[in-house]
Structure 1
């Protein structure tokens, strides 16, 4: 299954509330996701997305409309146009959209050949290139809020206080926001050295920010579009590649791939998410009063993360 490379598990800390209503739109369930989200096919032309509401959740309506307006007419069908959106009295947000033809990649990947995946990856890359043509001076959602993808700016665990993430206009502001979740995990000098190696984030480009097998639509071995634009906004120019599922990212065109950013973020996420305590210990140990040591390289391959130092 082509799951998210950096899955957002924070939903597990806040189980969705029980709802008294059920939705039976006389259609078929297209996909269901962590956090209580369901996407339904309604006939052949529409989809209905139902999920728990939260303040500002209507941003998906604006994001989808923005994406639809950014791409050329010939590929507008690859973004399902929003028909209507509303929040019901049970606290759920619903959005009705034109259907992007095809099926989620996850549902058909076992039937696809290597050639099919290469074709889909190339076509997806061409689509992403259209989005990258829209840039912003600041990193934000379509309504001006700081970006909300928790895989990039992960919220603090319940009960732990931490500064709020802020709107970013500069590389230093992105670096400082990302460093928040590493403070206390490692020596300050090493933290500064590591964060200095963050790949350049500008220009901030319009990004889908949730490219994985449940959101990539395909038909007959062809890419047909992306669904679920809830998290879209202006992100670091490398974010869509870094956050893209590995199943398809290897097939994206070279002009979309950002391998150095992916290697750096693999290490960042491992430290932030407490997955590699041995790595943190190693990083802290390389600084001593008697010698000057530089961090030469970080690498990540097949889930194994290593640190190389120079003396």
Structure 2
């Protein structure tokens, strides 16, 4: 697939959208790779991780995310569609088009109004910050009402959660309740986390860079790659143990871990137990 900028919409392309006085069209590629085509058209690079993951701007109204892909991996667009259908109260970005080309997945999203919580946090009053914590924790609570009998993603496959997988690059699951207890429990531990009869839908990566804010409200939650059904204990434990919930880069005058401390505290108040000490011991991390 490749993207073209045109003055009038071309009906021969399966996907088109308007951007100011111009139109963008996505359709089958004619020779060059999609990645090379984007660079040739000078679409600005927004973010890059290593040699395979990147985000480009497409005009003023869209972005294109590129990630590594392996067969049977659930695409982020499928997860976003699941959220739209099952928990429509959660603000999410609009998918324009998605596809897989070789060993990479491509996702074109409409830009979300606002800035990241990371950039907005220091401009907010204490009461506005508290309201933001309450709002995000409330969305977690809404998502957690969706349950499954296994640890799995929305299409029944493995979840992408490096903090729980055996090795950071591995996927986790699917795991039944009995398989999960065998995986997480240690006979020599004084305490293991409680695992009930079902698992709960969770974004699992709600750092301040993945929450878009407009007028001091959440305008969208982005980056759904890790979302899936997880143990109840993971909902408040993840922000306790993941530096991905920190302000990065650091915000002057703000503790790096302030967001994750406030979020996990609110989640605990909502009834999601925190097992950070167990997790560190389970992972063999000295504290």
Does structure 1 residue 123 correspond to structure 2 residue 125? no
Task: Give the structure 2 partner of residue 80 of structure 1.
Answer: 93
Task: Give the structure 2 partner of residue 168 of structure 1.
Answer: 175
Relative contact order higher in (CA < 8 Å, ≥ 6 apart)? 1
Task: Give the structure 2 partner of residue 54 of structure 1.
Answer: 70
> Residues 139-194 of structure 1: CA distance to partner in whole angstroms, max 9, x if unpaired?
11112123231211132789xxxxx9653221x42132236xxxxxxxxxxx4132
What are the residue-to-residue correspondences of 1:127-146 with 2, within 5 Å?
127-146=139-158
CA distance 1:79–1:195, change in 2 (3 Å)? farther
Asked if structure 2 preserves the Cα contact closer than 8 Å seen for 1:207 and 1:232, the reply is yes
What are the residue-to-residue correspondences of 1:133-212 with 2, within 5 Å?
133-155=145-167, 166-170=173-177, 172-178=178-184, 191-194=186-189, 197-212=192-207
Task: Give the structure 2 partner of residue 216 of structure 1.
Answer: 211
Asked if structure 2 preserves the Cα contact closer than 8 Å seen for 1:241 and 1:249, the reply is no
Task: Give the structure 2 partner of residue 68 of structure 1.
Answer: 84
SS of equivalent to 1:194? coil
Distance 1:201 1:23 in 2: 47
Asked if structure 2 preserves the Cα contact closer than 8 Å seen for 1:238 and 1:261, the reply is yes
Structure 1 residue 35, shift from structure 2 partner: 7.2
Structure 1 vs Structure 2 CA RMSD: 3.2
Give me the TM-score of the superposition, normalised by structure 2: 0.68
Distance 1:131 1:262 in 2: 22
Distance 1:117 1:241 in 2: 18
Structure 1 residue 67, shift from structure 2 partner: 1.0
Does structure 1 residue 234 correspond to structure 2 residue 229? yes
Task: Give the structure 2 partner of residue 265 of structure 1.
Answer: 279
Distance 1:169 1:65 in 2: 24
Unaligned runs of 5+ in 2: 1-33, 240-244, 246-256
Asked if structure 1 preserves the Cα contact closer than 8 Å seen for 2:237 and 2:274, the reply is no
Task: Give the structure 2 partner of residue 285 of structure 1.
Answer: none
Moved more, 30-39 or 204-213: 30-39
Task: Give the structure 1 partner of residue 258 of structure 2.
Answer: 247
SS of equivalent to 1:243? helix
Structure 1 residue 93, shift from structure 2 partner: 1.3
SS of equivalent to 2:189? helix
Structure 1 residue 216, shift from structure 2 partner: 1.4
Distance 1:157 1:207 in 2: 20
Does structure 1 residue 21 correspond to structure 2 residue 36? yes
Structure 1 residue 124, shift from structure 2 partner: 0.7
Asked if structure 2 preserves the Cα contact closer than 8 Å seen for 1:204 and 1:237, the reply is yes
Distance 2:196 2:51 in 1: 29
SS of equivalent to 1:267? helix
SS of equivalent to 2:72? coil
Structure 1 residue 44, shift from structure 2 partner: 4.7
SS of equivalent to 2:66? strand
CA distance 1:26–1:218, change in 2 (3 Å)? farther
